[in-house]
């Protein structure tokens, strides 16, 4: 079986590989930290971590955030296509792809969980990435938001079997 012919059958998003995740090597560990640092810098320099920008977005008073999100999605989509087209694989031979999000019967978890997340996003003006970046940026009270988010995550874990999925 040639690489080219298997590629055609690979869907855009794939089910995660069955092979267990491995602990990153020291080199890869530094790359994850550096990539995160680049994202943190972008969050600050583009002001997308700002509560003001999120308010401006939800009030439809500037196209800025919409243009940021749209161009990010476009670049991500083109990159994933390019990687697929080049047939790039991990060292384990898995094709590089974003794992598929599993569709549930009525998609309940996506719209219910999504709405709760949106209510929090509107109020706090920050999603998890910006929470981390703001702590680094010296908005130390965001550590309270991080602890609250951990409490929310923990409660979800405790209630998971009782919530509609």
Partner 1 sequence: MNLLREPWPWYIAGPLIGLMVPLLLLIGGKPFGISSSLRHLCAATIPSGIPFFEYDWKREGGWNLLFALGIVIGGLIATSVLVPHGFAVAISPATQRDLRSLGLHDLSGLVPRELFGWPALASGRGWLTLGVGGFLVGFGSRWAGGCTSGHAISGLATLQVPSMIAVLAFFAGGLLMTHVIMPWLL
The residue (of 1 and 34) whose beta carbon lies closer to partner 1 is: 34
CB of 36 to partner 1, least distance (A): 2
CB of 39 to partner 1, least distance (A): 6
Cβ atoms 87, 7 nearer than 8 A: yes
CB of 4 to partner 1, least distance (A): 20
- Cα separation of 29 and 22, whole Å? 12
CB of 6 to partner 1, least distance (A): 17
The residue (of 2 and 60) whose beta carbon lies closer to partner 1 is: 60
- Cα separation of 91 and 4, whole Å? 18
The residue (of 6 and 58) whose beta carbon lies closer to partner 1 is: 58
The residue (of 6 and 101) whose beta carbon lies closer to partner 1 is: 101
- Cα separation of 88 and 76, whole Å? 15
CB of 18 to partner 1, least distance (A): 13
The residue (of 6 and 140) whose beta carbon lies closer to partner 1 is: 140
């Amino acid at each position: 079986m040639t690489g080219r012919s298997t590629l055609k059958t690979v869907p855009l998003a794939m089910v995660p590989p069955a092979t267990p995740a491995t602990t990153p090597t020291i080199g890869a560990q530094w790359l994850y930290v550096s990539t995160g640092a680049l994202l943190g810098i972008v969050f600050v320099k583009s002001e997308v971590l700002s509560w003001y920008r999120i308010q401006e977005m939800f009030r439809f008073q500037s196209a800025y955030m919409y243009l940021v999100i749209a161009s990010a999605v476009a670049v991500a989509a083109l990159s994933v296509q390019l990687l697929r087209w080049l047939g790039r694989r991990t060292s384990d031979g898995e094709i590089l792809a974003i794992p598929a999000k599993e569709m549930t019967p009525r998609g309940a978890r996506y719209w219910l969980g999504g709405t709760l997340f949106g209510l929090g996003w509107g109020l706090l003006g920050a999603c998890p990435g910006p929470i981390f970046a703001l702590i680094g940026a010296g908005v130390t009270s965001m550590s309270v938001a991080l602890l609250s988010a951990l409490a929310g995550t923990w409660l979800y874990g405790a209630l998971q079997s009782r919530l509609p999925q």
